[in-house]
Amino acid sequence: MEYVYGALLLHKLGKTVDEAGLKKVLEATGVEIDESKVKSLIASLKDVDIDKELENAVVASASAAPAAGDAGSEAKAEEAPKEEKKEAAAEGLSALFG
């Protein structure tokens, strides 16, 4: 992840995302640099519009967030009836014994 973060930092600062720049960023953080990872990432980003990809990523995560919130409210709604069933079962047992 450090490699991706380094590339994003270079992009945000308006610098060219290239091997030399990425290595400098990684060296500054104290990460042991893996040349193959640097070359692979730079090659992968060659024809990528980073701004467009970031925009799509933000839209995707923003649309997914409300769905997660809805699931939480459904889970709470399901928990309430289960508790009522336990109480009803306990009432039935108490009728048997007393």
pLDDT given at position 10? 94
Q: pTM of the predicted model, to two decimals? A: 0.57
Lowest-confidence segment of 9-13, 23-27, 62-66, 81-85 by average pLDDT: 81-85
pLDDT given at position 90? 57
Is 1-48 assigned to CATH 2.40.50.140? Answer: no
Report the pLDDT averaged over residues 34-57: 91
pLDDT given at position 59? 72
CA separation for the pair 32, 74 (Å, rounded): 46
CA angle centred on 66, ends 62 and 71, rounded to 5° = 140
Sorted by sequence, the CB contacts under 8 Å of residue 27 that are 6+ apart come out as 33
Instruction: Place 57 in a pLDDT band, splitting at 50, 70 and 90.
Output: confident
Report the pLDDT averaged over residues 19-37: 94
